[in-house]
Chains A and B, each alone.
Chain A
C-alpha cells in the first residue's frame, strides 16, 4: 500500500495526462463527428459517400492500428511534427489518432439522433427560407443532440478508457505509468493495479451519471 501513496504524485500526474488526452480528443471528435453527420445527411451525394466511407473505415479499424499509424507512420516516417519535444509531439499525434477514431462513433450517434427528429421540423425550417446549414444548425442538430446525449456519454466513457492505447506510442498516460510502477514496485502490483482501476472509475462513473441526468433534463417534449 505504501508504494501507492509514495507514488501518488506520479499517479495523479498520469491521470492528469489521461484527462487532457480525453478532453482534447472529445472536443475534436465532437466537432469532426458533427461535420461528418452533417455530410451524411447532406443533399450532395459525394459528401454522403465520403462521410460513409470514412465512418466505415475508422469504425472497423482497431484503435491500436490507428494510434500506431499516427505515432510511427505520421510521426517517424512522414515526419509530421508539432513540437520540438518528442513527448509533446507523440501526445499530439495520439490526440489526432484518438480523435479520428472517436469521430466515427460520434458521427453515428448524432446521425441516429437526426433520424429521431420528425421530418416536419426540417420542412418547416425550409419553408421559412433557412438554408441547409442553418436548418441543421438551428433546428435539426439541437434536437438531434438532445436525443443522443446518453449514447454520447457512452462514447465518452469508451474514449476515456481508449486513451490507454496511447501507451502504444509511449505517451505516459495512466496505463503506461502503471506499467512502469509495476517494474519499480514488484511487491505491490495488486494495490497499484487497484489504484489505477479506481482512478478510471472516478473518471468514468460521474460521466455516466452526468450524461444520464442531462439526457432527462434536456429531452425535447413533443
Chain B
C-alpha cells in the first residue's frame, strides 16, 4: 500500500470521524439500552431529563467526567491508568476497513478482516492489565475469566468469518459486501446460515455481554476487572465496550447481511439499520437470560461452536472447490 500524503490525511480524517461515531454511538446506546431494559422490565426507563429522557446520556457522561478518579491502595500505578486507554485506542483503528456506504470506506485494504481481528485481540490485553493492576481479587478473577473467554471465542468467530472469506475469495470487507445483492436471499446469510449463527453466539461472548458477561459478572465478582475503576477510567471501558459491540455488528452486517446494500436504495442507512438491529438483539438477550457458568461457557465454545465452525469451513471449502 502506497502510504502517500493523501492516504495519511484520509486516515486522520477517518479516525476523527470514527471518534465522533464512537461517542455518538455511546450516547445512542446508553439511551437505547436503558430504554429497552425499561420496556423489558415493564418500567418507563429514563424519562426525567429532556424529552422522553433523551438527554440522559449527557447527564451520565457529565457525572462520569466530574467524578473523582479514585486510586485504591497498592495498585500498579502505570498499568492501572494505561488499561482504560489501551481498551479505547485500538477500537479507533478497528473501524477503518468497514464499508459504511457504497463510496464511504475509510481505508481500502486487502486484508481488512485481518486488521480487525488483530486489533480486536488487543482489547483483552486491557482487561488483563486492568484486572492485574487493580490489586483486587475480584478483578484478578475477572481478568482471568476475560482472557480465557475472549481467546476461546475468537476462534469460532474467525472460523465463521473464514468460511465467508473462502466463499467470496477476498478479505476486503468492501469486496465482500460488493458481491452480495440487494435482497435478503442474495446476502451471505442465505448461503452461510451456520456461520451466521456461530458468529452471532461468539459475538456475544467476544464482547463480554450477558449472558456471557462473566468477566464482569456483578453478582459473583461485583464488577469483575473494572471493580476498582471510577469516573473516566470506567467511562473508557464503557465506551470501548459499546464501540466493540458496534464493530462486531458492522462486521456482521458486512459479512452476512449485505452491508450497505438493501431493498430500494443502497446506502449508508442500511449499514446502520442492520448494525443497530444486531445491537438491539444483544441488548435484548442481555435483559432476558440469566448468566451461564464459566465452565458451561467454555463448553459451549470448545464442544459446540468450534467443531461446528470447522465443519462449516470444511463444507464451504469443498463446495467452493467443486462448484465455483
Interaction A to B: no
